[in-house]
Chains A and B, each alone.
Chain A
Amino acid sequence: MKKHLVSAHDLNKDEAVLVLDTAKELALISDRPVKKLPTLRGRTVVNLFFEDSTRTRISFEAASKRLSADVINFSAKGSSVSKGESLKDTAQTLQSMGADAVVIRHGSSGAPHLLATRNWIDAVVINAGDGTHEHPTQALLDAYTIRKHLRNSEGDLNGLKVAIVGDILHSRVARSNAILLKTLGATPIMVAPPTLLPVGIEKWNGEFSYDLDEVLPQVDAVMMLRVQQERMSDAYFPTTREYSRNFGLNAQRLKTMQKHALVLHPGPMNRGMEITAEVADSTNSVVIEQVANGVSVRMAVLYLLLGGSNSETGENN
């Protein structure tokens, strides 16, 4: 494995499968009364969050704590960052505090890449979402969830088709998923109005469509992306009603899908906008499970990047 996880491109197929397999092992811990392994005892994991994201932060925090790491939460609000401290100074501060891993969430695309490549810091860098670039652990947890249901938690995702629906242009989740799904042998299909697809989408790996109804019957899973309110004012689509009519997942549309097809959403959901409550709570929906799987996958990433050994996952520890 590469030292850092900045992009889904950092994982080849074998490594991605290894992360998923490791997550499967580690998930067993979560079913125990004492949900803790000593693997990362004495190691320090810093959650460096320049952007609010309670969900992702607590997921990483839970993952680190279950591996017995010391966790430091460093959020931009209330720290010197909001007074204009640079990424470099923050990084060097963490370096002198002896961080072994830095989990970074940043509003600017490429910030984790800088942290990993500029020699400001020795720690392992894990991208927890940067701007409109990538969010690789989200893609891993989505792949884990799909694999669990459709591949019995074994191997890759060869032959599966997965629709990713919504604001592809601004979505780091979509980017990382498009890359990782392809790596794992699946075919991602990006579905959105043309305004919300990036220029050059035809050169991305995978397919794209403007027509959700045409795509839904073909796919094994559909990932609904959150539509940000501010897209409205920038004229990406005329009204939320129209968006919802064309790209919202409702019960009627769900009926056109294959019986085994899964419904995923990275959360938080706009119920009634991109997804109806009926669909979100249906048996096809794995949205709640994604959250639990997120912890397992992030444990696996921390475990593998911080160099734990296999024996330590055993029952005796």
Chain B
Amino acid sequence: MSILLKNGSLKGEKNVDILIENDKISKVAPGNSLKDDKAEVIDLTGLIILPGLVDLHTHLREPGREDAETVATGSAAAARGGFTAVHAMANTLPVADTAGVVEQVWNLGKSIGLVDVYPVGAVTIGLKGENLAELSAMADSTARVRIFSDDGHCVSDPVLMRRALEYVKAFNGVIAQHAQEPRLTKNAQMNESELSGRLGLTGWPAVAEEAIVARDVLLTEHVQSKLHVCHASTAGTVDILRWAKGKKVNVTAEVTPHHLFLSQIHCESYDAKFKVNPPLRTDDDINELRKALAEGIIDVVATDHAPHPMEDKEGEWSSAAFGMTGLETALSVVATAMIETKLMTWADVARVMSEKPAEIGQLTEHGRPIAENEIANLCIIDPNASWKVDAKDTHSLSTNNPFHDMTLKSKVIHTIFRGKFSMKSGQVQK
């Protein structure tokens, strides 16, 4: 079976025809120049072609919280969002802190076959921040783990963080840190600001993130390892990252779509669908994060897709769960925040949502150039679409989507995963 994609705009730069045979791109030629009678022909005139999107930060909840999400439903949501690879965070039940659990997740992903699911391994046993998990065993497993994170918890003990950074050098791993100083954020509910004072919600100061990022950057430089900063959310974090990159420290960072788009003002509604860790920040933070992403100070966009069942999100703010879904809206939010504002081009989006995340995750078959003999992982976008988000219209098991009722620009139309449509004309191919 082969597919001929006609006259799509490659990263918004030039029109091309792409012939896909089996799981590979076999030909790339100028727009409307190829013919193939046996191939399924899809006209992409007016549409943008990017490499399949890669998410470094996804919560798929399986094993343990299959009421919120499963690898199957999360994979479907990912395919719908244009992703061909996702990294499944380790905070499952049991925690992904052994070779057994990461292999289970890896195999589940394979058997579903809508997207490559790369497990992230826990840094410490049970995410408890006490003892290192068997990092090397996870790295050597069939899941081939390279990214380790206690996400949801900060590896706050500086000695443990140092050891983790050192230890993963043996297999070229990276520690993805959830930067949150625990003592400064005890019972914290939202960004600390005049607004948190007014709403009577315990403040979550920016410094609680920045202090850890600064410390980790220094540790990383000292032990010559690799650090990835999860969900950067403050202007101060951007300053530290800029400094660190100036010093050639081996640090990368991600920002979520929601931190590029939503400010703390939404907390005024006390609607817990806006409750997230790290919290929504100020307009100034949003502006700095956008600029940093365009500039490359922040390397990638990662969704931090965090599904939660309704009962964990509809009650009073302080007892609600942290987190929001994001796989299906990520591309559109980034396009609205970065393309509509002329801060980035489609080639930049390819960089921050596919090429760079694949590089950080050390993936060899994602985020690659769209060229002959490459694996055909593609994301095809209508750049002129304008659509209203409906939280209930989702492949995720959860509906905690903060963009509900908001109008976004651009939409993923097709996703091609390893040479086959995983989503075609908006329909996930199950």
Contacts and interface: CB of A to CB of B under 8 A. Distances in A.
Interface string B190-215: 00111111111111010000000000
B311 interface: yes
A32 to B, nearest CB: 39
Contact of B270 (A114, A169, A172, A201): A114
A200 B194 contact: yes
B343 to A, nearest CB: 29
Interface string B242-283: 000000000000000000000000000110000000000000
B319 interface: yes
A286 interface: no
Contacts of A172: 200
A106 B315 CA distance: 12
Contacts of B314: 86, 88, 118
List 5 tightest A-B contacts by C-beta distance, closest first: A200-B194, A133-B200, A198-B197, A110-B270, A109-B200
7 contacts: A107-B318, A108-B318, A109-B270, A110-B199, A131-B200, A199-B194, A200-B193
B318 A109 contact: yes
Given A199-B193, A200-B193, A88 B203 contact: no
A43 interface: no
A175 interface: yes
Given A113-B270, A199-B196, 16 more contacts: A108-B316, A108-B317, A109-B201, A110-B270, A111-B270, A113-B269, A114-B270, A131-B318, A172-B200, A175-B198, A199-B192, A199-B203, A200-B195, A200-B198, A201-B197, A204-B198
Interface string B307-329: 00001001111110000000000
Interface in B11-58: none
Nearest to B318: A108
Interface size range of chain B in the complex: 20 to 34
Given A109-B317, A114-B316, A200-B195, A175 B270 contact: no
A130 interface: yes
A219 B199 CA distance: 27
Interface string A190-213: 000000001111011000000000
A254 to B, nearest CB: 30
Interface centre among A88, A106, A199 (most CB of B within 10 A): A199
A279 interface: no
B197 A199 contact: yes
A156 interface: no
A31 to B, nearest CB: 37
A142 interface: no
A200 B317 CA distance: 21
A266 to B, nearest CB: 16
A87 B314 CA distance: 9
B424 to A, nearest CB: 38
Interface string A53-89: 0000000000000000000000000000000001110
Contacts of A204: 194, 197-198
B174 to A, nearest CB: 34
A130 B315 contact: no
Given A86-B314, A114-B316, A199-B205, A109 B199 contact: yes
Contacts of A87: 315-316
A216 B189 CA distance: 35
A113 B311 CA distance: 18
A198 B203 CA distance: 9
Contact of B316 (A110, A198, A201): A110
Contacts of A88: 314-315
A134 interface: yes
B267 to A, nearest CB: 9
A58 to B, nearest CB: 24
Nearest to B189: A109
A130 B329 CA distance: 34
Nearest to A115: B316
A269 to B, nearest CB: 23
B87 to A, nearest CB: 33
A197 B201 CA distance: 14
A86 B373 CA distance: 56
A106 B316 contact: yes
A134 B196 CA distance: 13
B318 to A, nearest CB: 4
Interface in A95-126: 106-111, 113-114, 117-118
A109 B269 CA distance: 11
Contacts of B316: 87, 106, 108, 110-111, 114
Contact of B201 (A106, A110, A114, A201): A110
Contacts of B193: 199-200
Contacts of B318: 107-110, 131
Contacts of A276: none
B200 A203 contact: no
A132 interface: yes
B315 A110 contact: no
B317 A198 contact: no
A199 B192 CA distance: 7
Interface in B277-321: 311, 314-319
A133 B199 contact: yes
Nearest to A199: B192
Contacts of A108: 316-319
A203 to B, nearest CB: 4
Contact of A203 (B194, B199, B202, B311): B194
B48 to A, nearest CB: 40
Interface centre among B197, B201, B202, B319 (most CB of A within 10 A): B197
A199 B226 CA distance: 35
Given A87-B315, A108-B317, A114-B316, A200 B201 contact: no
A113 B267 CA distance: 12
A205 to B, nearest CB: 10
Nearest to B200: A133
A117 B269 CA distance: 9
A198 B201 contact: no
B192 to A, nearest CB: 5
A88 B315 CA distance: 7
A167 to B, nearest CB: 13
A133 B196 CA distance: 9
Nearest to B201: A109
A17 to B, nearest CB: 24
Contacts of B196: 198-200
A200 B197 CA distance: 7
B201 A86 contact: no
Contacts of A200: 193-198
